Structure 1
Amino acid sequence: MEKFIHIENVGVTFSTKKGPFVALRDINLNVAKGEFIALIGHSGCGKSTLLNIISGLNTPSSGVAIAAGKEIKGPGPDRAMVFQNHSLLPWLTCFDNVHLAVERVFGDRENKAQLKERTRAALELVKMGHAAEKRPGEISGGMKQRIGIARALAMEPKVLLMDEPFGALDALTRAHLQDELLKIIAKTGSTVVMVTHDVDEAVLLSDRIVMMTNGPAATIGEVLHVQLDRPRDRVALAHDARYMDYRTAVLEFLYHRHAKPEVETA
């Protein structure tokens, strides 16, 4: 498979008042075109730091990160980010929030009608065409996240990066959006790297689960290949022995071999 992301011997050290803080060390990871990767681990293990290196928001202290054959030296339209906070501009309509990104990426190549059509297509992809003229304050949290995903997909990125995109939603809304994301990825063939704390989410969505050791100086502890047929149905998988085995393997890693140490209190 074609390699889209290549991370080689990456380390990240931050300067603090107490001296250098090593967040990540010896990170080596390849992501193929069309692959869905989940990054999972305890808080403070550097999942978001690693995602930010791929996005270009963070710079490695050592090693190299490459996307689509080019060294990552900053954010770019080839890598779109979906945050836990939808980050929509509250004074713009849903249509205008998506159109702003479309115009930024394609404004010098397409006319106004084409830009509007691209925006409408992205909204329809996440089933939010009916809310195009609403502002973020007029729609639910789950709908806001749909708009955030639409905005990212409208840029036609080579890599879609997601930082706990459903973490702030209630369980039913989260499950519904996970199912919709499966359909969207199947339709677009997007390459995805997603940070999650949710073991079931990781197994349901991903092709590989990258399990991080505890920080500081966190690294990749294990990589689990999830060999479940697509399309995936959460109800059917609930009775699938392989699904339960994958889930158990991740829990075993997180809570037995890499349990988060308890903080002593006075």
Structure 2
Amino acid sequence: MHSYVQIENAGMVFSTKKGKFTALTDINLTVAEGEFISLIGHSGCGKSTLLNLIAGLTDATEGVLLLANKEIKGPGPERAVVFQNHSLLPWLNAFENVHLAVERVFGAREGRSQLKARTQAALDLVGLSHAAARLPGEISGGMKQRVGIARALAMEPKVLLMDEPFGALDALTRAHLQDELMKIVAATRSTVVMVTHDVDEAVLLSDRIVMMTNGPAATIGDILSIDLPRPRDRLALAHDPAYHALRSRVLEFLYSRQMRPREAA
């Protein structure tokens, strides 16, 4: 596997009414092609800020970020973002919401039938063909989030970026979508970077967990490799000592950082 994303000595400083605020410092990370990375840490540790840097939604004030050896400068169709809020257009149905993204990325070089086929394939992938004609207000929260994932996957991104995509869902829906995501990633061989607060979610889904220190001036405190075989079954893992050992490692890191914010450099 070769790296898709390289982050070298990246830092992020925001200007506020109270002066400069250093959100991130000395971030060094390489994400391999096809790898699933989770970013975890306490609130305010810069997880979403780091994801936004990779997405190109904000520019790092220090260092460099590369995608396939090209510097990241602004958003691009090779990176798709799934937010906690599904961000669907309420006046468009599920098919139309996905098709809008497909048309924007592929419309200049593909015909109408090809664009429709891409849209349908993305809905099929997340199991929503039956709901293609429904408006966002007519489907559940979990289904809306699946439309958001379908929209992102339909763009055929090199990197799928997810910012707590299941955070607003109930426990059963969340577990179901986690299982679906594992199947989708296995089928598409996507490279994924996901922000999460959920330790079990991080261990279940990830190849590596990037654990962030507290802010301000947050950085990478440790990186944990999740060497559990795939495909993964959550019920089997519930009785797996290796799973519990990995889960404990993450919890120990988080508890060691509790109420101990990293001093700004």
The two structures have a TM-score, normalised by structure 2, of: 0.98
Q: Distance in 1 between matches of 2:242 and 2:197?
A: 20
Aligned to 2:69: 69
Aligned to 2:259: 260
Aligned to 1:36: 36
AA at the equivalent of 2:59? T
Aligned to 1:192: 192
1:106-145 alignment, distance < 5 Å: 106-145=106-145
SS in 2 for 1:181: helix
| Shift >2 Å, 4+ stretches | none
Distance apart, 1:38 and its partner CA: 0.1
AA at the equivalent of 1:33? E
- 1:1-28 C-alpha deviation (Å, 9 max, x unpaired): 2110000000000001111000000000
Contact 1:42 1:260 survives alignment (8 Å): no
AA at the equivalent of 1:110? E
Q: Distance in 1 between matches of 2:135 and 2:222?
A: 43
2:169 is the alignment partner of 1:169: yes
Q: Distance in 1 between matches of 2:17 and 2:183?
A: 47
SS in 2 for 1:235: helix
Seq. identity, % = 74
SS in 1 for 2:258: coil
Aligned to 2:216: 216
Aligned to 2:250: 250
Count of aligned residue pairs for this structure pair: 261
AA at the equivalent of 1:143? M
- 1:160-204 C-alpha deviation (Å, 9 max, x unpaired): 000000000000000000000000000000000000000000000
SS in 1 for 2:193: strand
Distance apart, 1:260 and its partner CA: 3.2
2:18 is the alignment partner of 1:18: yes
The two structures have a TM-score, normalised by structure 1, of: 0.97
AA at the equivalent of 1:57? L
SS in 2 for 1:114: helix
Distance apart, 1:261 and its partner CA: 5.0
Contact 2:142 2:177 survives alignment (8 Å): yes
Output the aligned Cα RMSD.
0.8
AA at the equivalent of 1:5? V
- 1:94-113 C-alpha deviation (Å, 9 max, x unpaired): 00000000000000111000
Question: Which ranges of structure 2 fall in alignment gaps of 5 or more residues?
Answer: none
SS in 1 for 2:248: helix
Q: Distance in 2 between matches of 1:261 and 1:31?
A: 28
Question: Which ranges of structure 1 fall in alignment gaps of 5 or more residues?
Answer: none
Aligned to 2:89: 89
2:202 is the alignment partner of 1:202: yes
2:42 is the alignment partner of 1:50: no
Contact 1:102 1:155 survives alignment (8 Å): yes
- 1:121-162 C-alpha deviation (Å, 9 max, x unpaired): 000000000000000000000000000000000000000000
